[in-house]
Structure 1
Amino acid sequence: MSNVKAAYQATKGSMLEVDREFYDGLRASAGERTLVASHTVPIRSGLAWEVPAGHVFRVRITEGPQVGDFNMWNLHNPRERMWASRTRQLQRAHVSNYDRLWSTLPYLRPMATIIDDTLADYGEDSEGGRVHDLLGTRCDPYVNRLLTGEDFDFHCHSNLVRAVEPWGLHEGDVHDVLNIFQCTGLNDDDQYFMKACPARQGDYLEFFAETDLLCALSCCPGGDLSVDLWGENARDPLETCNPLGVEVYAVEPERLKGWQQPETAKYRGQHGRRPPGIDWEQRKREQMGQ
């Protein structure tokens, strides 16, 4: 096991410092919540739904193992959306309890925090696989054409595109995903691999919405990923596909005492540009503590 430190280390008071007691309380009081919405994501399809700030939402296995590709936006401003690569750096490549999903620049704030994960103890398996993957991204018809020379219409990218259209979003708004329940890693040649999904009926991943959210989920047409999607052994994995469930819960107000929506990043440096009306020498002295 490597003892190399992560490149991104939090300073005291940073948003990377998670109030575990607060999130533990949300998890422990699950029985006090009110179910406000329940959805089924059919096989090889997608769904979008809204989650108000301060609510909890859960993605769950309803029948059998199944991977889900997840996207997320600020409900009121879709330019602020989940940033998978920065989340990998600030949290980890495979997320679980207390990890946060961060938004894009210039906003850079937690959009949701994972508060309950029934696969949290899966850890790293004998082949280096871990679950809830931010390493890879969604399958799409473009790469399928690149790899096979054929068109195949059942892909997570396409599912997400269709799911968000009723909210006025389009293909360009779909972004890199959190692969929920997906087991992945890097092999000895530093190549990305996928394994069969270890989740079983009743497993779930649960989030606390830090801001008002529009979420979207694709029920991956690859099913549980136990069948090769490309290569000489590839075949249609339809028989491995199962639906996914989504639930949204209102939290008892007293559980939210002291919680506030995270602010966006406070950088105001203008990227080195120097418009008139600012005393730049004074600002420099302030930054140097003089």
Structure 2
Amino acid sequence: MRPPDDADTRRAIAPVICYPTETLPRPDLALYAAARAGAEKTGEWIAPPRDAVAFEVAAGEFFRITCTDGPQVGDLNLWNRHDLQERFYSGKTRALHGSHLGIGDRMWSGFPHLRPMATVVADTLGWYGTDAFGGRVHDVIGTRCDPHTHHLLSGEEYHHCCHSNLTRALAGAAGLDAETAAGMVHDVLNVFMCTGFTRDTGQYFMKASPVRPGDHIEFFSEIDLLGALSACPGGDCGAEHSSDAAACHPLKIEVFRPDPKALADWQSPERNGYSGGHGLPG
């Protein structure tokens, strides 16, 4: 098709940020850092290779995800511990903060709550930035590897995709059947995963994660959380992400509790203030 005469003019129109964040409430990172300095470790969980584990974090505590044995990507889900209907909303998080998260960015819950669930407070991969391919780490682009897409593309049954791993972890922690738990699993934060979009076709790509043993990302828990972390069957996701062939390693989750006095003036965020009427009568 021949482009219109004003094609270059149309392409040259400057972009506009969809959601300007100047009025977005800012996390008090200095307060969080002071509280973290005196925090004590209260819990530890291990997500085994090609499997997931559930964990709990109270509001005002910190949780850290660490690469222990070798390069490994993790898929993270978060729920309100008291109401599983409130869960991480990757799409709105992406719209507010961008395609990949870093220090000071927050994981937001879905409607009607739309409040911070956790805030990134430390990241040893913060140096990576953007590589020559457009790759960055800790994305909120990808949905999670799942057995349905795997079956669609290969015709095979595979039960260790991150969706299934997270389903088993949630079912065990919350006492849910498989169907209910699978429906509660949601799009993830791809911890340590290096991803972007190809410049020619716009396809979602992954490449071997730069994570190494000892690297970690840490969060401040804004509300009481139930989390689940899957050690992806793709390992470092340098080749494929639903596979028994990739080298896979465990991931460690630790929880740290600060001195209550350090957060004396802090309050867990309230749910979003929108009335919920949606313009309907009554």
Partner of 1:217: 229
Pairing of 1:122-271 with structure 2 (within 5 A)? 122-166=128-172, 167-169=174-176, 170-188=181-199, 189-229=201-241, 236-238=244-246, 240-271=247-278
Structure 1 unpaired stretches of 5+ = 276-290
- Root mean square deviation, CA, Å: 1.6
Instruction: State the one-letter code of the partner of 2:216.
Output: Y
Alpha-carbon contact 1:227-1:237 (below 8 Å) kept: no
Quote the Cα distance in structure 1 between the aligned partners of 2:93 and 2:171.
26
Deviations 1:41-81 (Å, cap 9, x if unpaired)?
A: 11111100110100000000011110000000000001100
Q: Structure 1 length normalisation: TM-score?
A: 0.87
Paired residues, what number? 263
Partner SS for 1:157: helix
Quote the Cα distance in structure 2 between the aligned partners of 1:229 and 1:220.
7
Structure 2 unpaired stretches of 5+ = 1-13
Give every structure 1 segment of 4 or more consecutive aligned residues whose post-TM-superposition deviation is greater than 4 Å: none
Alpha-carbon contact 1:33-1:251 (below 8 Å) kept: yes
Alpha-carbon contact 1:223-1:237 (below 8 Å) kept: no
Q: Structure 2 length normalisation: TM-score?
A: 0.89
1:23 to partner: Cα distance: 3.0
Partner SS for 1:271: coil
Quote the Cα distance in structure 1 between the aligned partners of 2:35 and 2:134.
31
Quote the sequence identity (%).
Answer: 47
Alpha-carbon contact 2:27-2:119 (below 8 Å) kept: no
1:229 to partner: Cα distance: 4.7
The answer to which of 266-275 and 67-76 deviates more is 266-275
Instruction: State the one-letter code of the partner of 1:9.
Output: P
Quote the Cα distance in structure 2 between the aligned partners of 1:26 and 1:88.
28
Partner SS for 2:233: coil
